[in-house]
């Protein structure tokens, strides 16, 4: 629940007028929710190009993280203290240069931070009497305390054009402050005793007179290697996200709803060097069944096999599977072994092609006001930092292996409102993503049950 106070006018800071509502709801050790919410109003023009959010340094993020670490018996000076040598960001300076917006992080004394590691999810809402358009910043951590904001229209939002957006006079900037000091990149098992992932869970909402520079979302295209390789059917092998992508309904019993696609059972495992044999056997069984169905028609039909692994590798903690370090080194070795083995096994079949589906973004900010302890603990490692890092790693690997890469990461990052939880998409979003690559008219209507 948000605790709201009356609007009060504060003194101007760096020649900018702020109207501030301070809302602070602290989570106690007994399990009450921790949720810090602040509302500001900022006017920017060609002479007023900087604004500090909030107007004064906020000590609450530091208090929140310190309590989580203290409860886990990780105090100052502990070898696993993520705050050692790092100042928690207590303030954000929005910098406006006309064509670019930046955020500079500041410490509790208002000094510029010189290191990166803050995880922020930033949106901009434009509202009128009948519509609401949300832009999402695919922000880049420069690594020196600065973050370049790159606002993009949402894949599913077709309400207004870019030209109409640029005519708007303002809107509401939302800064979800998720992690600080690289905590979002901490790998298992280091958070094993934490109550959650070290989530700052602070939201700043800023009413502004400017609309940020924005670009239009461009859907990903089928890799050129697959455009030149005709195929009649697509079979997807992987976890629940892969199954949803290929047509399994997000809720309810399994149902094939892709005339040109089908899916495996749920692999229910992370991909590591221990599980590679299981993945190979699992994929081979699915592929063999698909081949049998296609050949039973008596026609010479071709098959595209889509492999992938991501969500389990990001989320899984130390309890069941081999843990992955921050750079997923073991997972990288497993990918090479897995892909090489499968391609080698079916090398002689000219009717089979292969592709790899990218990981999709994790959205921990959707849990910002959650008290559900099971979810908070389950998602301790489910940061956007880790999911983006894994995405970049897998993309490099696929390029090195000359493996077509179905790139859905940016689209998934922009589509937090199309998620059912931190990781899973709605049925409609999965259908849209599928059709970017595999529209029905480009493949034969060949169902493989």
User: Can you give the three-state secondary structure of the chain, one letter per residue?
Assistant: CCCCCCCEECCCECCECCEEEEEEECCCCCCCCCEEEEEEEECCECCECEEEECCCCCCHHHHHHHHHHHHCCCCCCCCCCCCCCCCCCCEEEEEECCCCEEEEEECCCCCECCCCCCEEEEEEEEECCCCEEEEEECCEECCCCEEEECEEECCCCCCCCHHHHHHCCCEEEEEEEEECCCHHHCCCCCCCCCCCCCCCCEEEEEEECCCCCEECCCCCCCCHHHHCCCCCEEEEEECHHHHHHHCCCCCCCCCCCCCCEEEEEECCCCCCCCCHHHHHHHHHHHHHHHHHHHHCCCCCCCEEEEECCCHHHHHCCCCCCCCCCCCCHHHHHHHHHHHHHHHHHCCCCCCEEEEEECCCCCCHHHHCCCCCHHHHHHCCCCCHHHHHHHHHHHHHHHHHCCCCEECCHHHHHHCHHHECCCCCECHHHHHHHHHHHCCHHHCCCCCCC
Residue 62 pLDDT class (50, 70, 90 cuts): very high
Q: What is the mean pLDDT of residues 137-157?
A: 95
* C-beta separation of 408 from 236 below 8 A: no
Q: Put residue 247 in one of left, alpha, beta given phi > 0 → left and psi -120 to 50 → alpha.
A: left
Tell whether the model's pLDDT for residue 447 goes beyond 70: no
216-234 as b/e, with b when 16 or more CB fall inside 10 Å? ebeebebbeebeeeebbbb
List 35's β-bridge partners, or say none: 25
The more confidently predicted of residues 149 and 39 is 149
**Residue 321 tokens, joined:** 């599977």
pLDDT at 320: 73
**pLDDT tens digits along 38-56:** 667 777 666 678 889 999 9
CA dist., res. 90 & res. 60, Å (int):
8
156-to-36, 369, 405, 406, 429 alpha-carbon distances in Å: 29, 25, 22, 19, 8
* Residue 252 exposure: Cα atoms within 13 Å on the Cβ side: 7
* Arithmetic mean of pLDDT, 402-428: 92
* Model pLDDT, residue 15: 24
Whether residue 275 contacts residue 267, with contact meaning beta carbons closer than 8 Å, is answered with no
State the pLDDT at residue 443.
53
CATH fold, domain 224-442, is: Rossmann fold (3.40.50)
pLDDT of residue 46: 67
End-to-end CA distance of the chain: 47
Averaged pLDDT for residues 213-232: 90
The domain locations on the chain are 8-215, 224-442
Is the pLDDT higher at 203 or at 25?
A: 203
Predicted local distance difference test score (pLDDT) of residue 5: 27
Indicate the average pLDDT of the chain.
Answer: 84
Give φ, ψ of 266 to 5 degrees. -80, 120
């Amino acid at each position: 629940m948000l605790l709201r106070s009356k609007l009060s006018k504060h003194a101007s800071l760096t020649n900018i007028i702020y109207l501030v509502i301070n809302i602070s709801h602290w989570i106690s050790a007994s399990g009450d929710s921790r949720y810090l919410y602040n509302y500001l109003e900022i006017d920017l023009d060609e002479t007023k190009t900087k604004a500090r959010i909030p107007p004064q340094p906020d000590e609450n993020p530091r208090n929140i993280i310190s309590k989580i670490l203290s409860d886990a018996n990780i105090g100052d000076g502990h070898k696993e203290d993520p705050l050692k040598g790092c100042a928690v960001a207590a303030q954000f300076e929005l910098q406006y240069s006309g064509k670019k917006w930046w955020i500079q992080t500041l410490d509790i004394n208002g000094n510029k931070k010189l290191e990166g590691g803050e995880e922020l999810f930033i949106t901009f809402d434009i509202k009128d009497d009948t519509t609401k358009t949300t832009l999402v910043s695919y922000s880049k951590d420069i690594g020196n305390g600065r973050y370049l904001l790159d606002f993009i229209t949402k894949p599913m939002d077709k309400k207004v054009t870019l030209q109409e957006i640029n005519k708007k006079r303002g809107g509401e900037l939302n800064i979800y402050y998720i992690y600080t000091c690289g905590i979002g990149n901490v790998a298992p098992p280091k958070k094993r005793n934490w109550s959650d992932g070290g989530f700052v869970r602070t939201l700043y909402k800023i009413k502004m007179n400017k609309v940020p520079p924005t670009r239009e979302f461009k859907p990903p295209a089928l890799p050129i290697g697959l455009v030149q390789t005709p195929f009649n059917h697509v079979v997807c092998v992987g976890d629940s996200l892969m199954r949803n992508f290929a047509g399994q309904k997000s809720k309810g019993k399994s149902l094939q709803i892709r005339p040109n696609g089908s899916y495996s059972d749920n692999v229910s495992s992370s991909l590591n060097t221990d599980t590679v044999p299981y993945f190979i056997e699992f994929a081979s069984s699915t592929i063999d069944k698909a081949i049998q169905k296609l050949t039973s028609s008596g026609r010479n039909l071709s098959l595209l096999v889509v492999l992938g692994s991501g969500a389990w590798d990001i989320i899984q903690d130390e309890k069941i599977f081999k843990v992955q370090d921050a750079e997923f080194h073991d997972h990288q070795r497993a990918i090479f072994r897995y892909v090489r083995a499968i391609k080698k096994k079916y090398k002689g079949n000219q009717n089979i092609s292969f592709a790899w589906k990218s990981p999709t973004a994790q959205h921990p900010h959707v849990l910002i006001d959650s008290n559900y302890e099971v979810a908070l603990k389950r998602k301790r490692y489910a940061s956007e930092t880790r999911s983006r890092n894994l995405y970049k790693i897998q993309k490099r690997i696929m390029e090195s292996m000359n493996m077509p890469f179905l790139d859905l990461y940016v689209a998934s990052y922009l589509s937090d409102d199309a998620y059912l939880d931190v990781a899973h998409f709605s049925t409609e979003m999965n259908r849209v993503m599928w059709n970017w690559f595999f529209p029905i008219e480009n493949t034969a209507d060949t169902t493989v049950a």
